[in-house]
Amino acid sequence: MGGLLSRFSGAQQPVSDPGGDSAPLAPILSSDVERRAGLLDSLERSNLGWFWASDKAGRLIYLSEPAADRLSDQVDELLGTKISELFLDDEEAEEAANQRPLKFQLAARNSLRPTIVKLDRGGKTVWWEISGAPRQSGDDAFSGYHGIARDVTATIASQRDAEKMSRYDALTGLANRHRITHKLEATLTSFQVAKRSCATILLDLDRFKQVNDTMGHPAGDELLKQVSQRLTRIVGDQGEIGRLGGDEFQVLLPDVEDRAILGDLSERIIQMLSQPYSINGMRAVIGCSIGVAVAPFDGIESEELIKAADLALYAAKGGGRGQFRFYSTDLRDQASHRHQIEEDLRDALSKNELEMHFQPIVSSDEHRVVCAEALMRWNHSDRGMISPADFIPVAEEVGIIRELGEWAINDVCQKVAKWPGGICAAVNVSAVQFASDTFIDVVKKALQNSGVEPSQIELEITESVFVGDIDRALRMFRELKEIGVRLALDDFGTGYSSLSYLRDAPFDKIKIDQSFVRGCTEEGNNNGAIVSAVVSLAKALNMETVAEGVETKDELEAVVSFGASRIQGAIFSRAIPEQEFSERLQKGDLLFEPKGPEKYRSDRRTEFRKVGLIHEDSRYSVFLRNLSKTGAKIEGLLDVPIGTDVVLDLGGGQLAVAKVRRSEGFSQGVEFETHLVSDGAEGLCTRHRVSPYQIEAAGRPLGALNDIAVAAITGAMSKSPKAFIEVDMNAQSEQLAG
């Protein structure tokens, strides 16, 4: 403004208008205080810009009255306010415009470049853009600022709406893939410097596609909104949640590396997301699978960590869904193995590599076989028998489970037709197979071609078939019953049980999942009460009950006492080839004797693998025989004194501090100082691991954990004699076998 006035400051007389207007020109001169003040007043009232000034103490001494009106304040009430208290720094604006904090600029007493500031007045927030120039007094001392300001609230709101749309998911309001990825990258970069940890959880919804297909995409969108709300309640302020797209979510948890905490959180998420949803008056039920990876243990770069979490998620889905998994280096090999399975599985049918084995189901009173569950096995031409736990999930993912299921029904019908005594066989039906429009025709054709009695074929169906169109499922059940086949509800209680299933669906049998049989004999365990309740319910509905997975004699005694009418499990027999089972039927050998441990032990797993043991400055190789949350049995050291403190290197950076509690010859029992926790795969792991930062401090490059690096820092070589004698356990095993 001063520059504009100064252009005319030397003119003293009116001059003619260059444009030809006859009126005399009357410039506003710098000495014309009244006209200059009117010009500034007009500018202030136009709201195109306002003026402000401060004294040398940083207090407001002038503000345009229209500006104060915008703040719903009186100018007199604002005068004397510290500039730094009135004009607040805005972090988002600083980041977007790469501007220096206002306090820093004021302290430097230099010219203020245009700066976005925030003002919180009268219960509302507005944004101004301010600039200013320092003023000097007569002795050239700093006397404050004179500046201009303008309201940019509408612009900032528009920019931030656009920014939010680019960084947040429009459907759920969660961070989108771009933001959560950027957040992870920034977090990992800064945490490397501070040597901090950060966990990431990848989450994938199970059976979401079925809801989308059967209830429609609007229902699917509403379901995703409700899922995001539940996730937000569970995670709270522990971390940030992002939706990666579709039904995939990611959770970032800074400064969390304790796998007990991560396991508990994962289980809560699975449990809460598996509860029924109400959508437009309809009921929908889904589940979720979770993969967990932690930096810097499982990766130090964003891409590396996400790949690790993705492998863990893949393993959780492959393990039966509704589970969580921690990443481990073993998963890399499993992923390669899984890819090979996918390639070979497509040719398994044409090469006649698939076969059906049968596990007897016996009566609870006589232990006489009354039925057998048909279980698919894959006898690979090069690699031998491949577990169904490995290839069935792959078949579901690559879309050939229907072909396998159709083959299974036909093969079982052909074999059962030749069995004597009317023994029936149960065939598992996947939810994908059941959803096929041709499923009933497949069953009819298999019965006709084989000539088997329909009552000898039992279809085992899980509760997941009720997700989506329940009325269609019930219609199919009625049609199947009209054909004459039997129906069994498999894995009852592990899915999304509803009494309406049992009330409306014509089931002949309920199979109680083995997860309820496990621990039903333990004091304080509610599984026994659940088994008893299911049996009572089934009896009231005139249904049989099969207790699955019975392995020990105390479990057998318990389920029989609860009233289960049928028993299935390793205590009588594992699944055996059809030829062996058929020969037994031909001989009339229908009784199975219970053979197994006396009691169930929930906290012990049989192991046989080599691990490291550290004592003082020496490292030994020992064999791990049994492992529980509280301790382990090891073999390979001779005459270790009771009370000896040792550290077990369980691999993958897992070090368990322990004390020898029992010792006999080359066998020791050790008790862990800190209990192990579940790894999500029916295994155990340590809560904490050796940090790669410790490995780096030992002189190794920073990177994700590997056993060689861990062994290098935990098994420091010593030239002094070892305290214990190592025993060659391979030689011991050969001697015992001979």
Structure confidence by residue, pLDDT tens digits, 673-707: 999 998 887 789 999 998 888 877 777 777 777 65
Number of domains in the chain: 4
pLDDT of 720 over the 90 cut: no
| Band of pLDDT at residue 735, cut at 50, 70 and 90 | very low
CATH number, residue 402: 3.20.20.450
Q: 315 phi and psi, to 5 degrees?
A: -65, -40
Last residue of some domain: 586, 618, 645? 586
5 pLDDT exceeds 50?
no
Judgement on whether residues 387 and 300 belong to the same structural domain of the protein: no
pLDDT per residue as tens digits for the range 236-272? 989 999 999 999 999 999 999 999 999 999 999 999 9
The CB-side HSE value for 620 (13 A sphere, CA atoms) comes to: 26
Q: Of 127, 142, 159, which residue sits at a domain end?
A: 159
Beta bridge partners of 678: 684
Same domain, 389 and 536: yes
Distance CA 315, CA 335 (A): 8
Query: Could you tell me how many residues make up the chain?
Result: 738
Query: Under DSSP, is residue 484 helix (H, G, I), strand (E, B) or coil?
Result: coil
CA distance from start to end of the chain: 105
CA 62 to chain centre: 57
Same domain, 523 and 671: no
Q: Which of 96-110, 165-179, 191-205, 557-571 has the lowest mean pLDDT?
A: 96-110
| pLDDT on residue 736 | 40
> What CATH number is given to the structural domain containing 286?
3.30.70.270
Within-domain flag for 6? no
> Which pLDDT belongs to residue 183?
92
Q: At what angle do helices 401-416 and 439-450 cross, to 10 degrees?
A: 30
Residues 448-458 pLDDT 10s: 999 999 999 99
Cα separation, 323 vs 247, whole angstroms: 16
| Same domain, yes or no: 107 and 196 | no
pLDDT for 6: 36
Torsion of CA 149, 151, 157, 160, to 10 degrees: -10
Parent domain of 642: 604-737
pTM of the entire predicted model: 0.62
Segment 573-588 shows an average pLDDT of: 93
Residue 661 clears pLDDT 90, i.e. is over it = yes
Burial environment of residue 266 by CB neighbours within 10 A (0 to 12, 13 to 18, 19 or more): buried
Residue 200 in contact with residue 296, Cβ under 8 Å?
no
The C-alpha atoms of residue 669 and residue 604 are separated, in whole angstroms, by 13
Query: What pLDDT was estimated at residue 19?
Result: 52
pLDDT band for position 83 (50/70/90)?
confident
Average pLDDT of the segment spanning 45-53: 83
Q: What is the DSSP string of 564-616?
A: -SEE-STTT---EEHHHHHHHHHTT--B----S-SS--TTEEEEEEEEEEEET
Say yes or no: 543 and 627 in one domain. no
- Give me the pLDDT at residue 12, please: 42
pLDDT at 258: 95
Same domain, 452 and 519: yes
CATH number where 55 lies:
3.30.450.20
CA pair distance 277, 468, nearest whole angstrom: 11
**pLDDT, tens digit (0-9, with 9 covering 90-100), for 293-309:** 999 999 999 999 999 99
User: Is 265 within a domain?
Assistant: yes
Identity of the amino acid at 568: Q
Q: What is the mean pLDDT of residues 344-353?
A: 88
Higher-confidence residue of 23 and 71: namely: 71
pLDDT at position 658, please? 95
Residue that has been written with the tokens 């015992």 in this structure: 736
Which helix (H) or strand (E) segment holds residue 208: the answer is helix 208-215
Instruction: Give me the pLDDT at residue 140, please.
Output: 80
Asked if residue 155 and residue 118 are part of one domain, the reply reads: yes
pLDDT score, position 498: 57
E-assigned strand segments in 157-239: 198-206
**191 in the same domain as 309:** yes
427 phi, psi to nearest 5 deg: -115, 130
Share of the chain above pLDDT 90, in %: 45
Angle 15-19-25 (CA atoms, 0-180°, nearest 5)? 30
What is the dihedral angle through the alpha carbons of 28, 34, 40, 45, rounded to the nearest 10 degrees? -130
Residue 220 lies in a domain: yes
Q: Is residue 368 part of a domain?
A: yes
pLDDT in tens, 265-292: 999 999 999 999 999 888 888 899 999 9
Contact 424, 457 (CB under 8 A): yes
Can you give the pLDDT at residue 602? 55
The answer to whether residue 152 sits within a structural domain is yes
Q: For residue 4, is pLDDT > 70?
A: no
In this predicted model, which residue has the larger pLDDT, 36 or 54?
A: 54
Cβ atoms of residues 165 and 210 within 8 Å? no
Residue 119 falls inside a structural domain: yes
Is residue 4 in a domain?
A: no
Residue 561 lies in a domain: yes
Place of tokens 């078949």: 395
pLDDT one-digit tens code per residue, 461-483: 887 777 656 788 888 999 999 99
Distance (Å, whole) CA 449 – CA 422: 18
Which of the two residues, 26 and 215, has the higher pLDDT score? 215
| Average confidence score pLDDT of the chain | 85
Let me know whether 651 and 720 are in one domain: yes
Clarify whether residues 570 and 676 are in a common domain: no
Domain co-membership, 553 together with 679: no
Q: What percentage of the chain exceeds 70 in pLDDT?
A: 89
Same domain, 181 and 291: yes
Please say if the pLDDT value at position 728 is more than 50.
yes
Band of residue 495 on the pLDDT scale cut at 50, 70, 90: low
pLDDT band at 360 (very low <50, low <70, confident <90, very high): very high
